Structure 1
């Protein structure tokens, strides 16, 4: 079997170029040193660039064969002799800046050689596509939809009637977008579903009466949504995803939810209807948030938590039900001590 390389190795570049991209200072090493690739610290070969910011890998750093290392001030003296030291404030962020320069196609993958509208796509004649839109085979564009310049609609995706999609977006393969307005530079990974019915029923002993969901989904600029995530349209107002927010795979966002700007939502989180996340909220994986609660600006919620009540701005909460982490840790320690005492009897 052949062994394809999906992201071609970059051309050789100088240490100084790496430093410029990484916003780093060369503490040791020749600025003209040639860097021929990137690698994890433990797999590096001569010519490789690595980064280090996790003490769990200190032993691997000591043995690395890399040519250069992006590292913070705290660990700069741990880099072995012979490895060029690039001092940066946040090594992982600097690593991201370098990779974006070396592998731009890994940022937002596009089909190679895809130009214009495929003959095997179905585009309603009333749809409006600006210059440079790519529509791949099997995609369907509904009546009255509008798609901005530079946007790519990947294979077998469905764009519903009157949907608005901004410029330089990517709608991944097998995605579905309906009853929605998307800003610019929105990236929907494969299998994302946007704008379907919210889960609304008037329950009763004689059966459950479906409540029509008449809102929309509004996704602002520079939002990225991971594979197989679902965002329900609003029931009686819009579901909103704020500018710059990043959402992982397999997240469920219910109707009327408002997610602020630059939030981070990790995989398998469930946001119940009408909850609100203010700006810069971060939620760990497999956490559930009850409907109609508000998580304040900059708050952080640990993974596998249940949020039943409002969380103040800047709060750090975790557990079931979620509570301030210091209280949570104290309770866990108390339970552990009780268990240890019980085992001694």
Structure 2
């Protein structure tokens, strides 16, 4: 399907520079876009490439348009946030090209008679839905999915194949859970008794808000007594572990392999780079940004960028540095003794 540029501007806003009657059939990167594509510029280092692109239209900022618009010469859509504009255009093309899931329950699905499934919902092959579960309007449950007893799934939420959503957990509207996601497993709760472990039943839930995306093979544990909470707009990448009783504030995003230990409280609008680790029972303020690979070992009370890892080096150099780090405490004591000696010598000379 094709879309005219003026239709994009009518839908998403922006300032059109050039003909609005040009039809485009898709989005492509700057270097491969052709005369039927729209492309976008967000990074200044690609300005020269954008000026030479063969795309039918270019999404860019007012500042970039002033610098390269004339050189490019084609139709432009000037937007305050070109990347967000690109995302919305991409969503439009995805919706136009995708085949909507047909409402109804697949013959191989097992849906308990006490479950409530909206007539517009689509329940795929070999799905199991337990008693008391409520499936909202236009929900899609992909093949092999599982929805536990008394679970709640809000309207327009989509579970891709093999999502497991355990008993009493809830998710709001327009959520997306990718394949392999597991919501509501037991948290890691055990009481030590003379060197052995006594299991602590995990009786809380997982409560997920609206517009939440969760990547493949990510797991979110249910709370021990209170709930694990993921607020509206949170974005979780693949292979993330969220432990019991964690609370993640609205519109926080985490890249792949992040681990969040139990009872951590994370604020709104935070970001965490890949493989960042957050220890348990910490509090992290709103708008905190943690670099990839960092270990957060203390609470963070002020917004800002935080980094906590040792710089990469050749192994031999790293081992030397590690040896120095191990000896820092002893070196500090030696320095203190030297300072005392120097101070004593200085005082004796002045007297």
Give the TM-score category using the shorter length.
0.7 to 0.9
Indicate the structure with greater helix content.
2
Matches within 5 A, 1:127-206: 127-179=115-167, 180-206=169-195
Structure 2 spans left out of the alignment, 5+ residues: 312-316, 322-351
Matches within 5 A, 1:92-107: 92-104=83-95
**TM-score, normalising length from structure 2?**
0.83
Contact 1:22 1:95 in 2 (8 A): no
Structure 1 residue aligned with 2:72, among 65, 71, 81?
81
Structure 1 spans left out of the alignment, 5+ residues: 1-9, 322-327, 329-334, 340-345
Once the two structures are superposed, what CA deviation does each residue of 1:177-208 show, in whole Å capped at 9, x if it has no partner? 11302222222111100000001122355322
State how many pairs are aligned.
Answer: 312
SS of the equivalent of 1:194 reads: strand
Structure 1 residue aligned with 2:28, among 33, 39, 44?
39
> What is the CA-CA distance between 1:50 and the residue it aligns to?
0.8
Range with greater deviation from structure 2 (16-25 or 277-286):
16-25
Give the corresponding residue for 1:16: 6
SS of the equivalent of 2:72 reads: coil
Matches within 5 A, 1:1-345: 10-11=1-2, 13-27=3-17, 29-76=18-65, 77-79=67-69, 80-104=71-95, 112=100, 114-179=102-167, 180-320=169-309
Aligned partners of 1:112 and 1:299: how far apart in 2?
38
Range with greater deviation from structure 2 (81-90 or 266-275):
81-90
> What is the CA-CA distance between 1:113 and the residue it aligns to?
5.3
Change (3 A) 1:141 1:36: closer
Aligned partners of 1:35 and 1:260: how far apart in 2?
38
Contact 1:166 1:185 in 2 (8 A): yes
Aligned partners of 1:164 and 1:97: how far apart in 2?
28
Give the corresponding residue for 2:348: none
> What is the CA-CA distance between 1:308 and the residue it aligns to?
0.8
Aligned partners of 1:297 and 1:263: how far apart in 2?
9
Contact 1:67 1:82 in 2 (8 A): no
Contact 2:106 2:124 in 1 (8 A): yes
> What is the CA-CA distance between 1:57 and the residue it aligns to?
2.3
> What is the CA-CA distance between 1:112 and the residue it aligns to?
4.7
Higher radius of gyration, 1 or 2:
2
Once the two structures are superposed, what CA deviation does each residue of 1:211-249 show, in whole Å capped at 9, x if it has no partner? 111111111112111111100000111000001111111
SS of the equivalent of 2:63 reads: helix
**TM-score, normalising length from structure 1?**
0.84
> What is the CA-CA distance between 1:42 and the residue it aligns to?
0.3
Give the corresponding residue for 2:339: none
Contact 2:124 2:142 in 1 (8 A): yes
